[in-house]
Chain A
């Protein structure tokens, strides 16, 4: 075999090996929970669904969850699933709550739904929050009748502010991708604007990484 033929063959074998190694090394991540509170000296969290990095299925749920003046909700269900293979890896997380009242009624909704979906295949990696939303949302008593755009900020005088449909992307979009969705993220602040606590309602995270 000539040197050129040998080099071409070795190049092809190396490319195949490299691809196989990269595909086999993929990991997934998924996490979802209904609510987290760290405010006024109280720290509490509803059951968390956490996905193993090799994939699988996990749930975290409770029929009711409440912290005085912070959050009151029912039917909290968090689910995360995912799987890894040589050609494609994916992770999907959902979190939903019903009859939600945050901050003593400043923010209410019949249903809060957070969905985070991520995948990587031969075309690249991507994530999205499609399907996330509210049913009958109201802020300070005013109904919100349209879809809430990602990362919408609402001020809460005397309390701080809230980010609705908070979406935090991660990854390079080539071999890694992830997203965290927090449907209601309240940031409590003092008179100086410094953070003094937070409340999260409806959180879902998914990612695919090497």
Chain B
């Protein structure tokens, strides 16, 4: 009788476990990082940083902070860690981004990015972007994170008081590796018109992927 109990309880538990498991999806082949030589994705469709990735069946939200290696380090992500309290060399951000899917005809979302480094572009800036492309990409750190790439145009103002509008941006990758996001998740923001390219592991906050569903897509 004991053996009969196990024969039917264990499969039931396995079923529960399988249904509760997080289902991560395939992503496109890896591409290396590099400074793009384009101003918009229309200039170089399918090239590095624009297209060429995989159709994503997930959406991303995130918010937080990156510090080292610092502004204008051409997308480098090492060394890592938070800067000292006398430093203003860090950036903060908040975003949501999603691909097209059932119920949605095109990618969508928003990002706010704040660069605090007074020695950077125009003394720092606040950037508000609207997402118009979204794709899945492979984690270039080889750590099996779920990564998305999205781009669009935005507006804002520099710390020197100069407003700007219709400026192209691309988040080369926003990756969710684990919770908490600090020391795990990473992001790279590029604004070619500013010669701005900043990346890093999170020193605050979290990036989170969610699978698209019928209503959520």
Contact = CB atoms under 8 A, between A and B. Distances in A.
B155 interface: no
Given A8-B5, A8-B12, A130-B180, A81 B88 contact: no
A126 interface: yes
A115 to B, nearest CB: 4
Given A19-B16, A92-B94, A131 B82 contact: yes
B92 interface: yes
A57 B116 contact: no
A134 B86 CA distance: 8
Interface in B58-82: 59, 61-65, 82
B181 interface: yes
A90 B202 CA distance: 16
Classify chain B: how many residues form its interface, as a range.
35 or more
Contact of B114 (A82, A92, A96): A96
A15 B54 CA distance: 35
A181 to B, nearest CB: 10
Nearest to A121: B179
Interface stretch (A65-73, A140-148, A167-175): A140-148
A113 B126 CA distance: 14
Given A92-B64, A96-B116, 15 more contacts: A12-B12, A15-B12, A57-B110, A79-B94, A87-B211, A88-B208, A92-B94, A94-B65, A115-B63, A122-B20, A122-B22, A130-B182, A130-B203, A131-B65, A136-B85
Interface of A: 4-5, 8-9, 11-12, 15-16, 19-20, 55-57, 59, 61, 63, 75, 77, 79-85, 87-88, 90, 92-94, 96, 98, 110-111, 113, 115, 117, 119, 121-123, 126, 128-137, 144-147
Interface of B: 4-5, 8-9, 11-13, 15-16, 19-20, 22, 59, 61-65, 82, 85-88, 90, 92-96, 109-110, 112, 114, 116, 126, 128, 157, 159, 179-182, 202-206, 208, 210-211, 213, 216
